[in-house]
Amino acid sequence: MEMMLLMLGKNITCLHAPRRDEQIRVAERNDAAAAAAAVGEEAAAVSAFQGLTKPAISIGGYLERIFRFANCSPSCYVVAYIYLDRFLRRRPALAVDSFNVHRLLITSVLTAVKFVDDICYNNAYFARVGGISLMEMNYLEVDFLFGIAFDLNVTPAAFASYCAVLQSEMTYLEQPPAVDLPRLHCCPSDQDDAGCHHKQQQQQQQQQHQLAV
């Protein structure tokens, strides 16, 4: 099973890109909803993952930091994504926003690394990567494990299913933007052939100059 996870993981080395965009969209939407609901009353923390203030680092920057320093196999990011889904399904009252998404990400990756990889860094290292204390990292890990009811096993079918979803997102993000093709000028008569050809040459030279610049 581990070999299958690793083989599939090689196809999603850039998994953090779609995951980042998805988490940013969810967090921004829930930030607005939480701000509207908290008007006139003090917002209470829903779980241990809820912070009192927004971290200075952006969600995208935080994911880039994890991807850079975790040094884990690509399969870990798929498994972490599965764990996050399980956790949030069991805790529907917890809305992902900018106050908790960072802790959810680092904890899910830590949990996945310990389950998937044979060799991994300890909690103290991941705490430094995540910008939190070792005590908080340990507490979040335990809370996360209870949150998913210690359901750590991932079947090949479930792994492949989540891979398909993530790869479809990657395909959408990697689509090149639409390019406006230059319009061709039709010559109304043979007498204008020379002038029309000259204009086309000028347009081609301008396009080549723009590409060179």
Residue 41 DSSP code: S
Domains and their CATH numbers in the chain: 22-34+46-172 (1.10.472.10)
Give residue 151's pLDDT band: very low, low, confident or very high (50, 70, 90).
very high
pLDDT digits (tens, 9 = 90+) for 88-118: 999 998 889 999 999 999 999 999 999 999 9
The Cα-based distances of 212 to 31, 179, 202, 208 in angstroms read 44, 17, 15, 6
pLDDT digits (tens, 9 = 90+) for 36-68: 444 444 444 457 999 888 999 999 999 999 999
Report pTM.
0.65
Task: Read off the pLDDT of each residue in 132-155 and give the average, rounded to a whole number.
Answer: 96
Task: Read off the pLDDT of each residue in 128-154 and give the average, rounded to a whole number.
Answer: 96
Phi-psi region of 44 (alpha: psi -120 to 50; beta: other; left: phi over 0): beta
CB atoms within 10 A of CB 24: 16
